[in-house]
């Protein structure tokens, strides 16, 4: 049972992290293309140069979290299938 709680907790962490990184990725993408609008919406906190830097640095975390998110379902199916097979 402890491993079940741990997997659920890990899934939630990955899901929420992916959501946050995706929203930041979209916001900074708009900050690059529509920099005047994003600059006024964020009250000058996110200008074009900062948006480009953040957007570039989010590529690897985004792809990593997306891969984890996509692989969780097959991994948990395999894990629980093996657990049922060997524990009876």
Tens of pLDDT, residues 28-74: 999 999 989 988 888 989 899 999 999 999 999 999 999 999 988 78
What is the rounded distance in angstroms from the CA atom of residue 40 to the CA atom of residue 45? 9
What is the rounded distance in angstroms from the CA atom of residue 15 to the CA atom of residue 9? 10
In the chain, how many domains are there? Answer: 1
Structure tokens at 3: 């491993």
Host domain of residue 44: 2-87
Q: What is the pLDDT of residue 54?
A: 94
Closest CA to 62 of 31, 28, 32, 20: 20
């Amino acid at each position: 049972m402890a491993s079940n709680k741990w997997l659920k907790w890990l899934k939630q962490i990955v899901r929420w992290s992916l959501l946050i990184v995706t929203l930041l990725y979209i916001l900074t993408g708009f900050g690059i293309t529509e920099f005047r609008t994003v600059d006024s919406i964020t009250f000058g906190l996110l200008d074009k140069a900062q948006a480009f830097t953040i957007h570039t640095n989010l590529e690897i975390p985004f792809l990593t979290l997306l891969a984890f998110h996509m692989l969780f379902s097959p991994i948990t199916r395999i894990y629980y299938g093996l657990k049922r097979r060997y524990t009876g």
